[in-house]
Chains A and B, each alone.
Chain A
Protein backbone atom coordinates (compact mmCIF):
# COMPACT_ATOMS: atom_id res chain seq x y z
CA UNK A 1 0.00 0.00 0.00
CA UNK A 2 1.60 3.17 -1.20
CA UNK A 3 0.55 6.70 -0.76
CA UNK A 4 2.12 9.66 -2.48
CA UNK A 5 2.69 13.34 -1.95
CA UNK A 6 -0.18 15.37 -0.63
CA UNK A 7 -0.50 19.11 -0.10
CA UNK A 8 -2.31 22.19 1.10
CA UNK A 9 -5.97 22.95 1.57
CA UNK A 10 -8.06 26.01 2.41
CA UNK A 11 -5.27 28.51 1.93
CA UNK A 12 -3.08 27.34 4.76
CA UNK A 13 -0.49 24.72 4.15
CA UNK A 14 -1.58 21.75 6.24
CA UNK A 15 0.54 19.08 4.63
CA UNK A 16 3.72 20.02 2.79
CA UNK A 17 4.56 17.47 0.13
CA UNK A 18 4.18 14.67 2.58
CA UNK A 19 4.97 11.18 1.41
CA UNK A 20 4.35 8.04 3.32
CA UNK A 21 4.64 4.47 2.21
CA UNK A 22 3.06 1.71 4.25
CA UNK A 23 3.53 -1.99 3.70
CA UNK A 24 0.72 -4.50 3.73
CA UNK A 25 -0.16 -5.65 7.28
CA UNK A 26 2.10 -3.03 8.78
CA UNK A 27 1.12 -1.11 11.90
CA UNK A 28 2.29 2.48 11.64
CA UNK A 29 1.85 5.00 14.45
CA UNK A 30 1.90 8.67 13.61
CA UNK A 31 2.86 11.19 16.29
CA UNK A 32 3.34 14.90 16.01
CA UNK A 33 2.55 18.20 17.71
CA UNK A 34 -1.06 19.41 17.78
CA UNK A 35 -2.22 20.85 14.49
CA UNK A 36 0.49 19.13 12.47
CA UNK A 37 -2.07 17.90 9.99
CA UNK A 38 -2.50 14.32 11.19
CA UNK A 39 -6.26 14.52 10.85
CA UNK A 40 -5.91 16.25 7.48
CA UNK A 41 -3.74 13.36 6.39
CA UNK A 42 -6.39 10.85 7.44
CA UNK A 43 -9.17 12.83 5.82
CA UNK A 44 -7.14 12.82 2.63
CA UNK A 45 -6.44 9.08 2.73
CA UNK A 46 -10.08 8.30 3.49
CA UNK A 47 -11.16 10.39 0.52
CA UNK A 48 -13.07 13.01 2.51
CA UNK A 49 -10.58 15.66 1.39
CA UNK A 50 -9.17 16.05 -2.06
CA UNK A 51 -5.58 17.30 -1.85
CA UNK A 52 -4.46 20.27 -3.91
CA UNK A 53 -1.77 18.09 -5.40
CA UNK A 54 -0.49 14.62 -4.88
CA UNK A 55 -2.17 11.26 -4.96
CA UNK A 56 -3.36 8.54 -2.64
CA UNK A 57 -2.44 5.14 -4.00
CA UNK A 58 -3.87 1.89 -2.71
CA UNK A 59 -2.40 -1.32 -4.11
CA UNK A 60 -1.25 0.60 -7.14
CA UNK A 61 -4.68 2.15 -7.71
CA UNK A 62 -5.24 5.88 -7.55
CA UNK A 63 -8.04 6.41 -4.98
CA UNK A 64 -7.52 10.14 -4.43
CA UNK A 65 -10.78 11.77 -3.30
CA UNK A 66 -12.71 8.48 -3.31
CA UNK A 67 -14.41 7.38 -0.11
CA UNK A 68 -15.24 3.86 0.97
CA UNK A 69 -11.81 2.30 0.45
CA UNK A 70 -10.53 2.37 4.03
CA UNK A 71 -11.93 1.90 7.52
CA UNK A 72 -11.89 5.10 9.56
CA UNK A 73 -12.31 5.46 13.31
CA UNK A 74 -12.18 8.65 15.33
CA UNK A 75 -11.54 9.60 18.93
CA UNK A 76 -15.26 10.03 19.46
CA UNK A 77 -16.91 6.64 19.25
CA UNK A 78 -19.77 8.13 17.17
CA UNK A 79 -22.05 5.21 17.92
CA UNK A 80 -25.60 6.00 16.91
CA UNK A 81 -27.78 5.92 20.03
CA UNK A 82 -30.76 4.30 18.31
CA UNK A 83 -28.86 1.18 17.27
CA UNK A 84 -27.81 -1.66 19.56
CA UNK A 85 -24.24 -2.96 19.76
CA UNK A 86 -24.92 -5.34 16.87
CA UNK A 87 -26.80 -2.65 14.98
CA UNK A 88 -23.88 -0.26 15.30
CA UNK A 89 -21.36 -2.86 14.15
CA UNK A 90 -23.32 -3.43 10.94
CA UNK A 91 -23.84 0.31 10.34
CA UNK A 92 -21.35 0.33 7.46
CA UNK A 93 -23.37 -2.32 5.64
CA UNK A 94 -26.61 -0.47 6.37
CA UNK A 95 -25.18 2.70 4.86
CA UNK A 96 -23.83 1.11 1.71
CA UNK A 97 -25.71 -1.97 0.55
CA UNK A 98 -28.15 -3.10 3.23
CA UNK A 99 -27.62 -5.46 6.15
CA UNK A 100 -27.73 -9.17 5.47
CA UNK A 101 -28.14 -12.04 7.89
CA UNK A 102 -24.46 -12.82 7.36
CA UNK A 103 -23.49 -9.30 8.45
CA UNK A 104 -25.44 -9.72 11.67
CA UNK A 105 -24.03 -13.15 12.37
CA UNK A 106 -20.55 -11.84 11.83
CA UNK A 107 -21.24 -8.82 14.04
CA UNK A 108 -22.45 -11.08 16.83
CA UNK A 109 -19.43 -13.33 16.40
CA UNK A 110 -17.11 -10.31 16.52
CA UNK A 111 -18.76 -8.85 19.58
CA UNK A 112 -18.77 -12.21 21.31
CA UNK A 113 -15.13 -12.88 20.48
CA UNK A 114 -13.99 -9.52 21.76
CA UNK A 115 -15.73 -9.48 25.09
CA UNK A 116 -19.14 -7.94 24.36
CA UNK A 117 -21.13 -11.15 24.14
CA UNK A 118 -23.38 -10.15 27.00
CA UNK A 119 -24.13 -6.78 25.47
CA UNK A 120 -25.21 -7.64 21.91
CA UNK A 121 -28.59 -5.96 22.26
CA UNK A 122 -27.60 -3.13 24.56
CA UNK A 123 -27.94 0.45 23.45
CA UNK A 124 -24.67 2.44 23.49
CA UNK A 125 -25.74 4.68 26.39
CA UNK A 126 -25.67 1.62 28.64
CA UNK A 127 -21.99 0.88 27.86
CA UNK A 128 -18.79 2.21 29.43
CA UNK A 129 -16.39 4.38 27.43
CA UNK A 130 -14.01 1.49 26.80
CA UNK A 131 -16.80 -0.79 25.65
CA UNK A 132 -18.11 1.88 23.32
CA UNK A 133 -14.69 2.27 21.72
CA UNK A 134 -14.51 -1.49 21.24
CA UNK A 135 -17.86 -1.39 19.45
CA UNK A 136 -16.58 1.50 17.32
CA UNK A 137 -13.49 -0.51 16.39
CA UNK A 138 -15.61 -3.57 15.57
CA UNK A 139 -17.77 -1.38 13.37
CA UNK A 140 -14.57 -0.38 11.57
CA UNK A 141 -13.45 -4.03 11.30
CA UNK A 142 -16.84 -5.12 9.98
CA UNK A 143 -16.27 -2.94 6.91
CA UNK A 144 -13.66 -5.50 5.80
CA UNK A 145 -11.19 -2.95 4.59
CA UNK A 146 -7.53 -3.86 4.28
CA UNK A 147 -6.50 -0.45 5.59
CA UNK A 148 -7.70 0.97 8.89
CA UNK A 149 -7.20 4.59 9.94
CA UNK A 150 -7.45 5.00 13.69
CA UNK A 151 -7.42 8.66 14.73
CA UNK A 152 -6.61 8.79 18.46
CA UNK A 153 -9.16 6.07 19.17
CA UNK A 154 -8.25 5.84 22.85
CA UNK A 155 -7.58 9.55 23.42
CA UNK A 156 -10.72 10.11 25.47
CA UNK A 157 -10.24 7.18 27.83
CA UNK A 158 -8.64 7.18 31.26
CA UNK A 159 -5.12 5.77 31.36
CA UNK A 160 -6.12 2.48 32.95
CA UNK A 161 -8.78 1.74 30.35
CA UNK A 162 -6.48 3.00 27.64
CA UNK A 163 -3.79 0.47 28.52
CA UNK A 164 -6.39 -2.30 28.52
CA UNK A 165 -7.61 -1.17 25.13
CA UNK A 166 -4.06 -1.09 23.76
CA UNK A 167 -3.49 -4.69 24.86
CA UNK A 168 -6.84 -5.56 23.37
CA UNK A 169 -5.99 -3.88 20.06
CA UNK A 170 -2.70 -5.77 19.94
CA UNK A 171 -4.56 -9.06 20.27
CA UNK A 172 -7.14 -8.01 17.69
CA UNK A 173 -4.33 -7.12 15.29
CA UNK A 174 -2.83 -10.56 15.65
CA UNK A 175 -6.13 -12.05 14.49
CA UNK A 176 -6.36 -9.68 11.57
CA UNK A 177 -4.14 -9.06 8.67
CA UNK A 178 -4.94 -5.42 8.31
CA UNK A 179 -2.72 -2.48 7.57
CA UNK A 180 -3.18 0.07 10.32
CA UNK A 181 -2.38 3.75 10.54
CA UNK A 182 -2.71 4.96 14.10
CA UNK A 183 -2.60 8.62 15.10
CA UNK A 184 -1.84 9.40 18.73
CA UNK A 185 -0.40 12.05 21.02
CA UNK A 186 0.95 9.40 23.32
CA UNK A 187 4.50 8.32 22.47
CA UNK A 188 4.26 5.24 24.70
CA UNK A 189 1.13 4.15 22.90
CA UNK A 190 2.71 4.79 19.50
CA UNK A 191 5.76 2.64 20.24
CA UNK A 192 3.88 -0.07 22.13
CA UNK A 193 1.53 -0.80 19.24
CA UNK A 194 3.49 -0.12 16.08
CA UNK A 195 6.01 -1.68 13.73
CA UNK A 196 7.11 1.81 12.81
CA UNK A 197 6.57 5.26 14.33
CA UNK A 198 6.31 8.24 11.99
CA UNK A 199 7.17 11.55 13.66
CA UNK A 200 5.62 14.57 11.97
CA UNK A 201 6.77 18.17 12.18
CA UNK A 202 4.58 21.09 13.26
CA UNK A 203 2.51 22.89 10.63
CA UNK A 204 2.96 22.51 7.74
CA UNK A 205 3.08 18.79 8.31
CA UNK A 206 6.03 16.89 7.00
CA UNK A 207 7.55 13.56 7.93
CA UNK A 208 10.40 14.37 10.29
CA UNK A 209 11.65 10.89 10.94
CA UNK A 210 10.54 7.30 10.73
CA UNK A 211 11.57 5.09 13.64
CA UNK A 212 11.35 1.33 13.13
CA UNK A 213 10.19 -0.50 16.26
CA UNK A 214 11.95 -3.85 16.37
CA UNK A 215 10.29 -4.96 19.62
CA UNK A 216 9.27 -8.62 19.37
CA UNK A 217 5.60 -9.61 19.16
CA UNK A 218 3.40 -10.63 20.85
CA UNK A 219 4.01 -7.72 23.20
CA UNK A 220 2.86 -7.53 26.79
CA UNK A 221 3.15 -5.04 29.63
CA UNK A 222 6.82 -5.94 30.12
CA UNK A 223 7.60 -4.42 26.73
CA UNK A 224 6.60 -1.01 28.09
CA UNK A 225 9.53 -0.94 30.52
CA UNK A 226 12.14 -2.80 28.47
CA UNK A 227 15.42 -0.90 27.97
CA UNK A 228 14.93 -1.02 24.17
CA UNK A 229 11.50 0.59 24.62
CA UNK A 230 12.93 3.40 26.74
CA UNK A 231 15.61 4.03 24.17
CA UNK A 232 13.05 4.30 21.35
CA UNK A 233 10.93 6.59 23.49
CA UNK A 234 13.92 8.84 24.15
CA UNK A 235 14.54 9.03 20.42
CA UNK A 236 10.91 9.83 19.60
CA UNK A 237 10.54 12.43 22.36
CA UNK A 238 13.78 14.05 21.27
CA UNK A 239 12.48 14.42 17.74
CA UNK A 240 9.09 15.68 18.90
CA UNK A 241 10.53 18.39 21.09
CA UNK A 242 13.18 19.42 18.63
CA UNK A 243 16.12 18.44 20.81
CA UNK A 244 18.21 15.35 21.42
CA UNK A 245 19.43 13.84 24.61
CA UNK A 246 18.50 16.53 27.13
CA UNK A 247 14.91 15.31 27.21
CA UNK A 248 14.48 13.31 30.37
CA UNK A 249 12.77 9.96 30.08
Chain B
Protein backbone atom coordinates (compact mmCIF):
# COMPACT_ATOMS: atom_id res chain seq x y z
CA UNK B 1 0.00 0.00 0.00
CA UNK B 2 1.18 3.50 -0.82
CA UNK B 3 1.90 5.59 2.29
CA UNK B 4 -0.52 8.45 2.92
CA UNK B 5 1.13 11.92 2.91
CA UNK B 6 1.16 13.44 6.44
CA UNK B 7 -0.91 16.49 5.41
CA UNK B 8 -3.69 14.34 4.02
CA UNK B 9 -3.51 12.03 7.01
CA UNK B 10 -3.99 14.98 9.38
CA UNK B 11 -6.99 16.17 7.38
CA UNK B 12 -8.50 12.65 7.33
CA UNK B 13 -8.07 12.32 11.09
CA UNK B 14 -9.85 15.64 11.62
CA UNK B 15 -12.76 14.63 9.39
CA UNK B 16 -12.96 11.27 11.17
CA UNK B 17 -13.07 13.02 14.54
CA UNK B 18 -15.88 15.32 13.37
CA UNK B 19 -17.88 12.34 12.10
CA UNK B 20 -17.23 10.56 15.38
CA UNK B 21 -18.65 13.59 17.23
CA UNK B 22 -21.85 13.43 15.14
CA UNK B 23 -22.06 9.67 15.73
CA UNK B 24 -21.64 10.29 19.45
CA UNK B 25 -24.54 12.77 19.50
CA UNK B 26 -26.76 10.34 17.57
CA UNK B 27 -25.71 7.52 19.90
CA UNK B 28 -26.64 9.52 23.02
CA UNK B 29 -29.93 10.46 21.38
CA UNK B 30 -30.73 6.77 20.84
CA UNK B 31 -29.64 5.97 24.37
CA UNK B 32 -32.04 8.56 25.81
CA UNK B 33 -34.91 7.03 23.80
CA UNK B 34 -34.12 3.55 25.06
CA UNK B 35 -33.47 4.51 28.70
CA UNK B 36 -36.62 6.65 29.07
CA UNK B 37 -38.67 4.42 26.78
CA UNK B 38 -39.81 7.35 24.63
CA UNK B 39 -42.44 6.72 21.96
CA UNK B 40 -41.59 7.73 18.35
CA UNK B 41 -44.29 10.47 18.39
CA UNK B 42 -42.58 12.03 21.44
CA UNK B 43 -39.01 11.69 20.25
CA UNK B 44 -38.12 9.86 17.03
CA UNK B 45 -34.67 8.38 16.58
CA UNK B 46 -32.27 10.48 14.50
CA UNK B 47 -32.19 7.68 11.91
CA UNK B 48 -35.96 7.97 11.55
CA UNK B 49 -35.72 11.77 11.21
CA UNK B 50 -33.04 11.47 8.53
CA UNK B 51 -35.07 8.76 6.79
CA UNK B 52 -38.11 11.08 6.81
CA UNK B 53 -35.95 13.75 5.16
CA UNK B 54 -34.86 11.27 2.51
CA UNK B 55 -38.45 10.11 1.82
CA UNK B 56 -39.63 13.69 1.58
CA UNK B 57 -36.61 15.07 -0.28
CA UNK B 58 -38.54 16.03 -3.44
CA UNK B 59 -40.45 18.59 -1.36
CA UNK B 60 -37.71 19.43 1.13
CA UNK B 61 -35.07 20.19 -1.53
CA UNK B 62 -36.95 23.30 -2.70
CA UNK B 63 -37.66 24.42 0.86
CA UNK B 64 -34.04 23.94 1.85
CA UNK B 65 -32.90 25.99 -1.13
CA UNK B 66 -35.30 28.78 -0.14
CA UNK B 67 -33.99 28.86 3.43
CA UNK B 68 -30.38 28.67 2.26
CA UNK B 69 -31.01 31.66 -0.03
CA UNK B 70 -32.53 33.73 2.78
CA UNK B 71 -29.68 32.80 5.06
CA UNK B 72 -26.97 33.55 2.50
CA UNK B 73 -28.36 36.88 1.24
CA UNK B 74 -29.19 38.08 4.73
CA UNK B 75 -25.78 37.01 5.91
CA UNK B 76 -23.97 38.95 3.17
CA UNK B 77 -26.06 42.06 3.78
CA UNK B 78 -25.46 41.82 7.53
CA UNK B 79 -21.74 41.17 7.10
CA UNK B 80 -21.35 44.10 4.70
CA UNK B 81 -23.33 46.49 6.89
CA UNK B 82 -21.41 45.31 9.96
CA UNK B 83 -18.05 45.71 8.26
CA UNK B 84 -18.82 49.20 6.92
CA UNK B 85 -20.21 50.28 10.30
CA UNK B 86 -17.13 48.95 12.06
CA UNK B 87 -14.79 50.81 9.72
CA UNK B 88 -16.85 54.02 9.93
CA UNK B 89 -17.03 53.84 13.71
CA UNK B 90 -13.29 53.30 14.04
CA UNK B 91 -12.63 56.37 11.91
CA UNK B 92 -14.25 58.76 14.36
CA UNK B 93 -14.57 58.59 18.10
CA UNK B 94 -17.69 60.76 17.96
CA UNK B 95 -19.42 58.43 15.52
CA UNK B 96 -18.41 55.49 17.72
CA UNK B 97 -19.82 57.04 20.91
CA UNK B 98 -23.00 57.92 19.08
CA UNK B 99 -23.56 54.62 17.31
CA UNK B 100 -22.32 52.04 19.83
CA UNK B 101 -25.20 52.47 22.34
CA UNK B 102 -27.67 52.25 19.46
CA UNK B 103 -26.08 49.00 18.31
CA UNK B 104 -26.26 47.45 21.76
CA UNK B 105 -29.88 48.54 22.06
CA UNK B 106 -30.64 46.98 18.68
CA UNK B 107 -29.44 43.63 19.97
CA UNK B 108 -31.51 43.94 23.14
CA UNK B 109 -34.70 44.19 21.09
CA UNK B 110 -36.23 40.66 21.02
CA UNK B 111 -35.92 39.63 17.40
CA UNK B 112 -39.16 37.62 17.53
CA UNK B 113 -41.05 40.73 18.59
CA UNK B 114 -39.44 42.66 15.76
CA UNK B 115 -40.53 40.15 13.14
CA UNK B 116 -44.22 41.10 13.06
CA UNK B 117 -43.75 44.86 12.65
CA UNK B 118 -41.18 44.17 9.93
CA UNK B 119 -43.81 42.22 7.98
CA UNK B 120 -46.22 45.15 8.32
CA UNK B 121 -43.45 47.43 7.06
CA UNK B 122 -41.99 45.33 4.27
CA UNK B 123 -44.76 42.90 3.31
CA UNK B 124 -44.59 39.12 3.00
CA UNK B 125 -41.73 38.96 0.52
CA UNK B 126 -38.05 38.26 0.98
CA UNK B 127 -37.22 41.65 2.48
CA UNK B 128 -38.35 41.24 6.10
CA UNK B 129 -36.50 37.91 6.32
CA UNK B 130 -33.33 39.44 4.96
CA UNK B 131 -33.65 42.27 7.50
CA UNK B 132 -34.01 39.81 10.36
CA UNK B 133 -31.06 37.66 9.25
CA UNK B 134 -28.89 40.73 8.64
CA UNK B 135 -29.97 42.07 12.03
CA UNK B 136 -28.59 39.02 13.83
CA UNK B 137 -25.42 38.84 11.74
CA UNK B 138 -24.14 42.40 11.71
CA UNK B 139 -23.57 42.77 15.44
CA UNK B 140 -20.78 40.22 15.98
CA UNK B 141 -19.18 41.55 12.79
CA UNK B 142 -19.18 45.18 13.97
CA UNK B 143 -17.84 44.29 17.40
CA UNK B 144 -15.01 42.17 16.02
CA UNK B 145 -14.01 44.58 13.25
CA UNK B 146 -13.96 47.44 15.76
CA UNK B 147 -11.79 45.40 18.12
CA UNK B 148 -9.44 44.52 15.28
CA UNK B 149 -9.01 48.13 14.24
CA UNK B 150 -8.59 49.29 17.84
CA UNK B 151 -5.89 46.68 18.46
CA UNK B 152 -3.56 47.79 15.66
CA UNK B 153 -0.21 48.61 17.22
CA UNK B 154 -0.10 52.43 17.45
CA UNK B 155 3.63 52.19 16.70
CA UNK B 156 2.78 50.64 13.35
CA UNK B 157 0.55 53.60 12.58
CA UNK B 158 3.34 55.96 13.68
CA UNK B 159 5.83 54.10 11.51
CA UNK B 160 3.58 54.27 8.47
CA UNK B 161 3.14 58.00 9.06
CA UNK B 162 6.89 58.44 9.39
CA UNK B 163 7.26 56.67 6.05
CA UNK B 164 5.04 59.36 4.59
CA UNK B 165 2.04 57.06 4.04
CA UNK B 166 -0.91 58.46 2.10
CA UNK B 167 -4.14 58.07 4.11
CA UNK B 168 -5.91 55.85 1.56
CA UNK B 169 -2.85 53.66 1.02
CA UNK B 170 -2.35 53.40 4.76
CA UNK B 171 -5.94 52.24 5.07
CA UNK B 172 -5.60 49.66 2.30
CA UNK B 173 -2.25 48.24 3.36
CA UNK B 174 -2.38 48.51 7.15
CA UNK B 175 -5.87 48.92 8.56
CA UNK B 176 -7.86 46.82 6.10
CA UNK B 177 -5.70 43.67 6.31
CA UNK B 178 -5.65 44.05 10.10
CA UNK B 179 -9.45 43.70 10.17
CA UNK B 180 -9.42 40.37 8.31
CA UNK B 181 -8.76 37.98 11.20
CA UNK B 182 -11.28 39.60 13.58
CA UNK B 183 -13.73 39.98 10.69
CA UNK B 184 -13.73 36.23 10.23
CA UNK B 185 -14.24 35.64 13.94
CA UNK B 186 -17.37 37.76 13.61
CA UNK B 187 -18.44 36.04 10.41
CA UNK B 188 -18.12 32.58 11.97
CA UNK B 189 -20.42 33.60 14.83
CA UNK B 190 -22.74 35.36 12.40
CA UNK B 191 -22.91 32.35 10.08
CA UNK B 192 -24.37 30.16 12.81
CA UNK B 193 -26.82 32.89 13.94
CA UNK B 194 -28.03 33.51 10.42
CA UNK B 195 -30.06 30.29 10.15
CA UNK B 196 -31.98 31.10 13.33
CA UNK B 197 -32.76 34.51 11.85
CA UNK B 198 -34.07 32.92 8.67
CA UNK B 199 -36.37 30.54 10.59
CA UNK B 200 -37.80 33.36 12.71
CA UNK B 201 -38.36 35.35 9.52
CA UNK B 202 -40.22 32.47 7.90
CA UNK B 203 -42.44 31.93 10.94
CA UNK B 204 -43.84 35.43 10.66
CA UNK B 205 -43.53 36.24 6.98
CA UNK B 206 -44.39 33.07 5.16
CA UNK B 207 -45.38 33.91 1.60
CA UNK B 208 -42.70 31.55 0.30
CA UNK B 209 -42.33 28.15 1.87
CA UNK B 210 -39.07 27.35 3.54
CA UNK B 211 -37.76 24.91 6.14
CA UNK B 212 -39.05 27.22 8.89
CA UNK B 213 -42.61 27.15 7.59
CA UNK B 214 -42.33 23.39 7.05
CA UNK B 215 -41.20 23.05 10.65
CA UNK B 216 -44.25 25.03 11.80
CA UNK B 217 -46.65 22.90 9.76
CA UNK B 218 -45.07 19.65 10.90
CA UNK B 219 -45.24 20.83 14.49
CA UNK B 220 -48.91 21.74 14.18
CA UNK B 221 -49.74 18.24 12.88
CA UNK B 222 -47.59 16.51 15.55
CA UNK B 223 -45.34 15.14 12.82
CA UNK B 224 -42.32 14.82 15.12
CA UNK B 225 -40.25 13.01 12.53
CA UNK B 226 -40.83 15.95 10.20
CA UNK B 227 -39.94 18.43 12.97
CA UNK B 228 -36.67 16.73 13.79
CA UNK B 229 -35.94 16.09 10.13
CA UNK B 230 -36.26 19.80 9.37
CA UNK B 231 -34.23 20.69 12.47
CA UNK B 232 -31.43 18.40 11.35
CA UNK B 233 -31.44 20.08 7.93
CA UNK B 234 -31.39 23.55 9.50
CA UNK B 235 -28.51 22.50 11.74
CA UNK B 236 -26.66 21.18 8.71
CA UNK B 237 -27.10 24.55 6.98
CA UNK B 238 -25.65 26.31 10.04
CA UNK B 239 -22.69 23.95 10.27
CA UNK B 240 -22.06 24.23 6.51
CA UNK B 241 -22.12 28.05 6.74
CA UNK B 242 -19.62 27.92 9.58
CA UNK B 243 -17.34 25.58 7.64
CA UNK B 244 -17.61 27.80 4.57
CA UNK B 245 -16.37 30.71 6.71
CA UNK B 246 -13.50 28.62 8.04
CA UNK B 247 -12.50 27.76 4.47
CA UNK B 248 -12.84 31.38 3.34
CA UNK B 249 -10.76 32.47 6.32
CA UNK B 250 -7.88 30.15 5.51
CA UNK B 251 -7.95 31.41 1.90
CA UNK B 252 -8.12 35.06 2.89
CA UNK B 253 -5.58 34.97 5.72
CA UNK B 254 -2.92 32.50 4.56
CA UNK B 255 -0.29 33.97 6.90
CA UNK B 256 -2.11 32.48 9.89
CA UNK B 257 -1.53 28.91 8.83
CA UNK B 258 1.24 28.97 6.24
CA UNK B 259 4.98 29.56 6.54
CA UNK B 260 5.41 30.87 3.02
CA UNK B 261 3.12 32.63 0.57
CA UNK B 262 1.31 30.50 -2.00
CA UNK B 263 3.09 30.50 -5.33
CA UNK B 264 0.32 32.42 -7.04
CA UNK B 265 0.36 35.12 -4.36
CA UNK B 266 4.09 35.73 -4.39
CA UNK B 267 5.41 39.03 -5.64
CA UNK B 268 6.95 37.73 -8.83
CA UNK B 269 9.78 39.56 -10.47
CA UNK B 270 11.79 37.01 -12.37
CA UNK B 271 14.76 38.01 -10.25
CA UNK B 272 17.46 35.40 -10.31
CA UNK B 273 20.82 35.26 -8.63
CA UNK B 274 22.54 34.91 -12.00
CA UNK B 275 21.40 38.29 -13.23
CA UNK B 276 23.64 41.29 -12.69
CA UNK B 277 22.19 43.36 -9.89
CA UNK B 278 21.84 47.11 -9.79
CA UNK B 279 22.59 48.95 -6.49
CA UNK B 280 24.26 47.48 -3.38
CA UNK B 281 27.68 46.17 -4.38
CA UNK B 282 28.46 42.88 -2.74
CA UNK B 283 31.47 43.04 -0.51
CA UNK B 284 30.29 41.09 2.49
CA UNK B 285 28.54 37.84 2.53
CA UNK B 286 26.65 37.29 5.71
CA UNK B 287 25.26 33.89 6.40
CA UNK B 288 22.34 33.28 8.66
A94 touches B162 (CB 8 A): no
Chain B residues with CB under 8 A of A123: 254-255, 258-261
CA distance A17 to B164 in the complex (A): 27
Asked if A112 is an interface residue, CB under 8 A from chain B, the answer is: yes
Chain A residues with CB under 8 A of B155: 74, 76, 78
A-B contact pairs, 23 of them (CB 8 A): A43-B158, A67-B161, A68-B164, A72-B159, A80-B156, A82-B177, A82-B253, A84-B260, A84-B266, A95-B170, A95-B174, A104-B271, A105-B271, A106-B278, A112-B273, A113-B282, A114-B286, A115-B286, A115-B287, A117-B273, A123-B261, A125-B255, A171-B283
Q: Closest approach, in angstroms, between the C-beta of B157 and any C-beta of chain A?
A: 10
Asked if B165 is an interface residue, CB under 8 A from chain A, the answer is: yes
A122 touches B260 (CB 8 A): yes
Cβ < 8 Å to A, chain B residues 172-223: 173-174, 177, 180
Q: Closest approach, in angstroms, between the C-beta of B284 and any C-beta of chain A?
A: 4
Interface of B toward A, CB cutoff 8 Å: 153, 155-156, 158-166, 169-170, 173-174, 177, 180, 253-255, 258-261, 266-269, 271, 273, 277-284, 286-288
Q: Closest approach, in angstroms, between the C-beta of A26 and any C-beta of chain B?
A: 20
Within 8 Å by CB of A78, from B153, B254, B278, B284, lies B153
Asked if A81 is an interface residue, CB under 8 A from chain B, the answer is: yes
CA distance A72 to B261 in the complex (A): 27
CA distance A246 to B159 in the complex (A): 41
CA distance A84 to B153 in the complex (A): 19
Chain B residues with CB under 8 A of A59: none
Chain B residues with CB under 8 A of A113: 280, 282
CA distance A115 to B162 in the complex (A): 27
Asked if A47 is an interface residue, CB under 8 A from chain B, the answer is: yes
Q: Is the interface of A mostly helix, strand, loop or mixed?
A: helix
B163 touches A67 (CB 8 A): yes
CA distance A108 to B287 in the complex (A): 16
CA distance A81 to B273 in the complex (A): 26
Within 8 Å by CB of A109, from B164, B277, B287, lies B277
Count CB-based A-B contacts (< 8 Å): 123
* Chain A residue nearest in CB terms to B176: A82
Asked if A131 is an interface residue, CB under 8 A from chain B, the answer is: yes
Chain A residues with CB under 8 A of B164: 67-69, 95-96
Q: Closest approach, in angstroms, between the C-beta of A154 and any C-beta of chain B?
A: 15
Interface of A toward B, CB cutoff 8 Å: 43, 46-48, 67-70, 72, 74, 76, 78, 80-82, 84, 86-87, 90-92, 94-96, 98-99, 101, 104-110, 112-118, 121-126, 131, 143, 168, 171, 174-175
Chain B residues with CB under 8 A of A72: 159, 162-163
B162 touches A95 (CB 8 A): no
Within 8 Å by CB of A87, from B153, B174, B253, B267, lies B267
A95 touches B153 (CB 8 A): no
CA distance A41 to B153 in the complex (A): 21
Closest CB pairs A-B (n = 10): A68-B164, A95-B165, A171-B284, A72-B162, A123-B255, A126-B259, A46-B162, A108-B271, A104-B269, A82-B177
B267 touches A48 (CB 8 A): no
Within 8 Å by CB of B280, from A67, A76, A110, A124, lies A110
B173 touches A81 (CB 8 A): no
Chain A residues with CB under 8 A of B253: 82
Chain A residues with CB under 8 A of B282: 113
Chain B residues with CB under 8 A of A80: 156, 173-174, 177
* Chain A residue nearest in CB terms to B273: A112
* Chain A residue nearest in CB terms to B153: A78
